[in-house]
């Protein structure tokens, strides 16, 4: 009996929809693809231009500044980076790092304002919640398909897919952080006659900061995991090594590249977490 | 001209339906309206007039509508009906921008759990109200420092609030309000979260500051002792209604209804009433020098010692100046009348 109901043509609709968006909005996608692609190539060229030794020292110095009082972290970070260089994965590292940083930045630039809007309107929050759930539970691979449709293959579609996959935690935790502020502090702000902008900048965002930073940390970690997957659509980096090892069933190189990703993940995590805890 | 006039102000939380309106009209109680409609009448037809430079205490049990009432005054909560006059101007209907300006110019508020910003230093917290008004940094920090000095915290300006004790945090809350230099100070259970000793200390300090500042203070408390010790006048609230307004002496010695009576019946009047509450003005021909002297802020029981040896009158002084005379008969009357032990009941 159930077989008598014709199949809902959802997949056809989706295909048509994406095709329509692709052609209708190519005037947006194409310049994004060009400019962002060029920008990222510049960044990568620039970073590769720095001698690896100097690069490692700079990262170690930065980590020493950020993570006050801890001597061990910079040393471990240095050792990790040296290992990646030693394994001949330096250029892959730079590619991945650039992709993560760009995806992370875009996610934050989009995510924080969306989170703020959500905290201000219950209707908008109700609307966004299921969308965010969908964005996060959809298998990450699925985002690669429209990404390719919009931007072809390469770095930019990788960034696009990462932003979609990685921005929900920032949006959510910005919203939550602002909503969790105690009523009395908001009243205190109002009672002194703050404008909505003053309240946001001087009271809400600073008070929600730990929560927002936790969101950003998660976003960047998700961006990293997506950037690795995006190697399937031609985003260069450590993921490419993993993918080609997988295709050739080479355990050794796959493991080494995987280790490189782990090291990068730890380094990024350290950085985003300490900037969270130091007030 | 009164500084604050609350005219027939009602605040209903929950739907304000025709039904609620009718029940209010029929003067049904808060509980009846709640059980019939589900809406909470937090403040019901309140009428109050608060004069310049007085300490006006609103006192009542938890849930009686005190916090709602004080928030109606600076419009943190909008009234459901009624009018609010501040310095003679009707402010019941202001645009958002006017409302901001109105709050900046007129009010500073002190909160029960201090409501300090944890990420700001004590000094920056104190300067917050001025920062909001876009006062240049140097100027506002100078004013904030002065305010911190007033509350005895100038040594702590670079600390974060959570490094201070509760009492000190509330001093910062007070300093933040004082730095703002508005003439109305709203204090919602400002001392309720403090230990009894610290609390007493803060009350005394507020009284002393007020003698210099002469601000109009609306002070909320659920504690009768506190109300009596700092209030020039007291309004007692019950279920959103104002049960009685009067001086501490009037409230204690002349409760107007059973609710107020029950409230004040067990208190020791000699330990809540002050000399100033029962004194009469001295007239100029009187020779006051011969009498023993007592301070106007002293509690009444302090006068017992001086009334020994048949002395009938004491000279009341405030800061070295003669402000009145307190008579033995008056003290006796205030302490005894309406406070007699009923034979039958014992
Ligand atoms: N935001 C609100 N929504 C619904 N009911 C409220 C709200 N605020 C206060 N009330 C109700 O209004 C009444 C008065 O509350 P409140 O003014 O806080 O009393 P108090 O400060 O004297 O303890 C209480 O019955 C309380 O439950
Ligand atoms: Mg209250």
Is residue A74 a contact partner of residue A64, using CB atoms and an 8 Å limit?
yes
Query: Structural domain of residue A227, as residue ranges?
Result: 11-49+89-237
d(CA B327, CA A93): 92
Answer yes or no: is A112 within a domain.
yes
Residue B253 tokens read as 């010695």
Ligand 2 midpoint to CA B7 (Å): 21
Q: Is B222 in the pocket of ligand 1 (CB under 6 A)?
A: no
Segment among A156-165, B71-80, B128-137, B271-280 with least mean pLDDT? B271-280
Architecture per CATH, B4-270: 3-Layer(aba) Sandwich (3.40)
Whether chain B has a CB inside 8 Å of the CB on A279: the answer is: yes
Selecting from B99, B102, B115 the residue whose C-beta is nearest the C-beta of A184 gives B115
Cβ–Cβ below 8 Å for A192 and B129:
yes
Selecting from B76, B102, B132 the residue whose C-beta is nearest the C-beta of A198 gives B132
Whether chain A has a CB inside 8 Å of the CB on B247: the answer is: no
Task: Give residue B201's pLDDT band: very low, low, confident or very high (50, 70, 90).
Answer: very high
> Of all atoms in ligand 1, which is nearest to the CA of residue B60?
22
Ligand 1 midpoint to CA B64 (Å): 8
- Nearest CA-CA distance, residue B110 and chain A, Å: 8
Q: Is B40 in the pocket of ligand 1 (CB under 6 A)?
A: yes
DSSP letter (8 states) at residue B43: E
Query: What totals of helices (H) and strands (E) does chain A contain, helices first?
Result: 13, 0
Closest C-alpha among B179, B111, B129 to residue A194: B129
Answer yes or no: is A181 within a domain.
yes
User: For the packed helices A251-277 and A238-247, what is the interaxial angle rounded to 10 degrees?
Assistant: 150
Q: Do domains B4-270 and B271-345 have the same CATH topology?
A: no
Per-residue pLDDT of chain A (279 residues; tens, 9 = 90+): 788 888 888 889 988 888 888 888 888 888 888 899 899 989 999 988 889 889 999 999 888 887 776 778 888 889 999 999 999 899 999 999 999 999 999 999 999 999 999 999 999 999 999 999 998 888 888 889 888 888 888 899 999 999 999 999 999 999 999 999 999 999 999 999 999 999 999 999 999 999 999 999 999 999 999 888 899 898 889 999 989 998 888 889 899 999 999 999 999 888 887 655 544
State how many domains chain A has: 1
Q: Delimit the domains of chain B by residue range.
A: 4-270, 271-345
Looking at residue A279, its pLDDT comes to: 42
Is residue A139 a contact partner of residue A232, using CB atoms and an 8 Å limit?
no
Strand B313-318 and strand B293-295: the pairing is parallel
Whether chain A has a CB inside 8 Å of the CB on B180: the answer is: yes
List, for residues B120-163, the tens digit of each pLDDT value: 999 999 999 999 999 999 999 999 999 999 999 989 999 999 99
Is residue B269 a contact partner of residue B339, using CB atoms and an 8 Å limit?
yes
Determine how many CB atoms are found less than 10 A away from the CB of residue B227: 25
User: For the packed helices A26-49 and A10-24, what is the interaxial angle rounded to 10 degrees?
Assistant: 70
Give the C-alpha distances (Å, rounded to integers) separating A95 from A162, B165, B202: 14, 52, 62
Q: Which fold has domain B271-345?
A: CBS domain Like (3.90.1280)
DSSP letter (8 states) at residue B280: B
CATH number of the domain that A121 lies in? 1.10.3720.10
Task: Quote ipTM for the complex.
Answer: 0.85
Residue nearest to atom 12 of ligand 1 (CA): B42
Q: Which residues pair with B85 in a beta bridge?
A: B5, B90
Residue nearest to atom 13 of ligand 1 (CA): B42
List, for residues B220-252, the tens digit of each pLDDT value: 999 998 999 899 999 999 999 999 999 998 898
- Nearest CA-CA distance, residue A41 and chain B, Å: 40
Ligand 2 midpoint to CA B112 (Å): 8
Ligand 2 midpoint to CA B220 (Å): 8
> Of all atoms in ligand 1, which is nearest to the CA of residue B43?
14
Looking at residue A69, its pLDDT comes to: 63
Phi and psi of B244, rounded to 5°? -165, 145
Question: Which residues are within 8 A (CB) of B104 and not within 5 positions of it... i.e. 6 or more apart?
Answer: A192, A193, B129, B132, B133, B182
Q: How far is CA A238 from the centre of its chain?
A: 16
Answer yes or no: is A260 within a domain.
no
Q: Which residues pair with B4 in a beta bridge?
A: B50, B86
User: Strand, coil or helix: what is A82?
Assistant: helix
Residue A65 tokens read as 């500044």
Per the listing, tokens 């031609």 go with A234
- A186 → chain B, closest CA residue: B115
Three-point CA angle A246, A252, A258, nearest 5°:
65
């Amino acid at each position: 009996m159930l077989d008598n109901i014709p199949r809902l043509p959802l997949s056809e609709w989706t295909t048509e929809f994406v095709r329509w968006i692709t052609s209708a909005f190519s005037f947006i996608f194409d310049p994004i693809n060009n400019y962002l692609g060029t920008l990222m190539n510049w960044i990568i060229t620039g970073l590769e231009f720095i001698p690896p030794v100097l690069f490692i020292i700079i990262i170690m110095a930065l980590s020493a500044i950020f993570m006050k009082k801890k001597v061990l972290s910079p040393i471990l970070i240095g050792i990790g980076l040296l290992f990646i260089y030693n394994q001949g994965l330096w250029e892959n590292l730079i590619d991945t790092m650039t992709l993560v940083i760009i995806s992370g930045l875009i996610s934050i630039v989009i995510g924080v304002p969306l989170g703020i809007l959500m905290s201000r309107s219950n209707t908008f929050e109700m609307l966004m919640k299921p969308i965010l759930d969908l964005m996060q539970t959809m298998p990450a691979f699925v985002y690669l398909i429209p990404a390719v449709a919009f931007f072809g293959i390469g770095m930019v579609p990788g960034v696009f897919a990462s932003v979609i996959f990685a921005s929900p935690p920032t949006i959510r935790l910005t919203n939550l952080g602002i909503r969790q502020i105690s009523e009395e502090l908001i009243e205190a702000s109002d009672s002194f006659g703050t404008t909505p902008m003053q309240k946001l900048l001087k009271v809400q965002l600073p008070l929600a900061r730990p929560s927002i930073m936790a969101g950003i940390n998660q976003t960047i970690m998700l961006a990293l995991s997506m950037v690795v997957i995006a190697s399937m659509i031609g985003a260069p980096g450590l993921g490419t090594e993993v993918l080609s090892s997988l295709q050739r069933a080479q355990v050794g190189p796959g493991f080494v590249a995987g280790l490189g990703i782990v090291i990068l993940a730890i380094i990024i995590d350290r950085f985003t977490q300490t900037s969270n805890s130091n007030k | 001209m009164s500084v604050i006039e609350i005219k027939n102000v009602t605040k209903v939380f929950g739907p304000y339906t025709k039904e609620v309106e009718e029940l209010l009209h029929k003067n049904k109680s808060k509980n009846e309206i709640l059980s019939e409609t589900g809406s909470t009448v937090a403040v019901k037809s309140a009428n109050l007039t608060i004069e310049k430079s007085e300490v006006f205490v609103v006192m009542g049990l938890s849930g009686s509508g005190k916090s709602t009432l004080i928030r109606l005054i600076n419009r943190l909560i909008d009234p459901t009906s009624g009018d609010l006059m501040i310095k003679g101007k009707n402010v019941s209907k202001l645009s958002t921008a006017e409302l901001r300006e109105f709050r900046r110019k007129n009010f500073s508020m002190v909160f029960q759990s201090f409501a300090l910003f944890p990420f700001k230093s004590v000094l920056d917290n104190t300067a917050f109200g001025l920062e909001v008004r876009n006062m240049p940094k140097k100027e506002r920090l100078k004013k904030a420092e002065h305010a911190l000095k007033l509350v005895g915290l100038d040594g702590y300006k670079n600390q974060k609030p959570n490094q201070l004790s509760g009492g000190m945090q509330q001093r910062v809350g007070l300093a933040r309000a004082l730095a703002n230099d508005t003439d109305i100070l709203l204090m919602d259970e400002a001392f309720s979260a403090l230990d009894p000793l610290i609390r007493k200390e803060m009350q005394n300090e507020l009284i002393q500051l007020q003698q210099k500042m002469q601000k109009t203070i609306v002070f909320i408390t659920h504690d009768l002792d506190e109300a009596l010790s700092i209030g020039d006048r007291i309004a007692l609230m019950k279920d959103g209604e104002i049960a009685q307004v009067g001086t501490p002496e009037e409230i204690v010695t002349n409760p107007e209804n059973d609710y107020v009576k029950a409230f004040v019946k067990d208190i020791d009047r000699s330990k809540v009433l002050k000399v100033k509450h029962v004194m009469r003005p001295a007239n100029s021909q009187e020779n006051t020098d011969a009498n023993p002297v007592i301070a106007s802020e002293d509690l009444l029981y302090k006068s017992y010692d001086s009334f020994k040896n048949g002395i009938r009158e004491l000279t009341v002084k405030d800061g070295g100046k003669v402000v009145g005379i307190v008579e033995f008969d008056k003290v006796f009357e205030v302490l005894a009348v309406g406070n007699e032990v009923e034979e039958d009941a014992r």
